[in-house]
Amino acid sequence: MGIYVRYASMTKLMIYLEGGGLCFSSHFCDHNPANMQQQFSADPQTMGQTVGGSLSNLASPPILQKPWTTGIFDFNNAKNPVNGWSQVYVPYCTGDAHFGTIDNGSVTDYANGQGSPGTSSINPGFHFVGFNNMQKIAGHLAATFTGLEQMILTGASAGGLGAVFNATMVEETFGGKVPATVILDSAAGFPDVKYMSACLQQNVRSTFGWDAALPADCADCRQPDGSGLINIVKYLHNRYPQDRLGLMMSIHDQIFRLFFGAGMGSDPSQPQDCDSNDPNILSGLGLGAINPTNLRYPAALWEEGLGTLRTTYDCTGVFSSYFIGTADPSDSPDPVSNPIDTLHMHSFRDRYYDNLAGGISPAQWTADLLANKIEDIGP
């Protein structure tokens, strides 16, 4: 496992975790990079922003995972909120949101959408060791950056989940005295199982060994039905109440709706049962049918869930959100099938500096958050 480090200020550090999907069924694992020599696409403007685009780029020649020179990595742009900061870029090939603890892991698939007994198959040989890696990385960085005054822990997609899941461990490794800001780009989870089913949470926590990575004293993170994962946010806030949290997301994000659909039935108003819902949703849809209007997880439900996060976290006084909606300027090669309100990941693209919502750019929203200006931008 290697990391990229760009040395600049030794008092300000950004740690960026790369995204790339979650490997909790063989089909989803097919779409995870197998190593640091693989990436979805060589184009940072389109990489992984739509379901169809992600799949079509799997046939692209393997390229090395490394920081882009666009978006938040563009140091020639005076509007970059982290100009002058040291940066660490953590590649991603463990498929576990940088939070796994099982070195000899396996995934379980269900034939024809039916669970066991008799129809499930177990596929071994996966190295879900993202949390183990992050512990070593954090230890190395804490020994290197000994005079930090400010830190950002961030990432896109699965990297965004990894940022918030690992935040407590990283902060404690740095001694718990460095003011931190956690920013999630196109990554969200929900306390309410209406929006993130308990069976899906149980599936990923057992597949990746997340319980061993969660803080031992976070009882709310471990509910009897398998839910509670996103209560790590409440735990983090209670432990470090001055830390800031930012969420940037399209209100109908198609990639997260695809993955969350693995825990949802055809009728979202009914109880959810992962054993009766084939997690290989991509196979079931077929490439030709994949667009935001055909996903199992309804767009309106995702938007509603994001609204509950604002309601839940705004009262902390340290939570900012930047939501991109249907009325915002489109940045898509196909704005009809893939409008801006469905696109995934924004921080490493050129559009990071465009006014995508509320008349300001994601870059300005980030700068505001770092300056302790708390705001909710967009619908």
Largest CA distance in the chain: 60
pLDDT at residue 55, rounded to an integer: 62
Q: Phi/psi at 322 (nearest 5 deg)? A: -135, 100
Distance, in Å, from the CA atom of 294 to the CA atom of 296, rounded to the nearest integer, reads 7
Mean pLDDT of the chain: 87
**Residue that wins the pLDDT comparison between 297 and 59:** 297
**Residue that wins the pLDDT comparison between 77 and 40:** 77
Q: How are beta strands 102-110 and 85-90 bridged, if at all?
A: unpaired
Q: Is the pLDDT of residue 281 over 90?
A: no
Distance, in Å, from the CA atom of 19 to the CA atom of 98, rounded to the nearest integer, reads 9
Q: Phi/psi at 346 (nearest 5 deg)? A: -135, -25
- The proportion of the chain whose per-residue pLDDT surpasses 70, expressed as a percent, equals 82
pLDDT at residue 54, rounded to an integer: 67
- The proportion of the chain whose per-residue pLDDT surpasses 90, expressed as a percent, equals 65
pLDDT at residue 45, rounded to an integer: 85
Q: Is the pLDDT of residue 331 over 70?
A: no
- Amino acid at site 12: K
Query: Residue range 349-358: average pLDDT?
Result: 96
- Please name which of 256, 300, 305 lies closest in space to residue 156, comparing C-alpha atoms: 256
- Amino acid at site 15: I
Sequence-distant (≥ 6) Cβ neighbours of residue 180 within 8 angstroms = 150, 151, 152, 153, 167, 170, 171, 240, 243, 244
Q: How confident is the model at residue 52 (pLDDT cuts 50, 70, 90)?
A: confident
Query: Residue range 235-253: average pLDDT?
Result: 97
Question: What end-to-end distance do the CA atoms of the chain give, in Å?
Answer: 40
Domain boundaries, the chain: 4-377
Query: Residue range 127-133: average pLDDT?
Result: 96
Range of weakest confidence among 19-28, 268-277, 298-307: 268-277
Cβ neighbours around 146 below 10 Å, total:
10
Distance, in Å, from the CA atom of 275 to the CA atom of 28, rounded to the nearest integer, reads 16
Helices (H) and strands (E) in the chain, counts: 11, 10
Sequence-distant (≥ 6) Cβ neighbours of residue 108 within 8 angstroms = 25, 120, 121, 122, 123, 207
Q: Is the pLDDT of residue 12 over 90?
A: yes
How do residues 191-210 score in pLDDT, each as one tens digit?
999 999 998 999 899 999 99
Location of structure tokens 């893939």:
338
CB 321 within 8 A of CB 251: no
Q: Is the pLDDT of residue 311 over 70?
A: yes
Query: Residue range 329-333: average pLDDT?
Result: 67
Q: How confident is the model at residue 283 (pLDDT cuts 50, 70, 90)?
A: very low
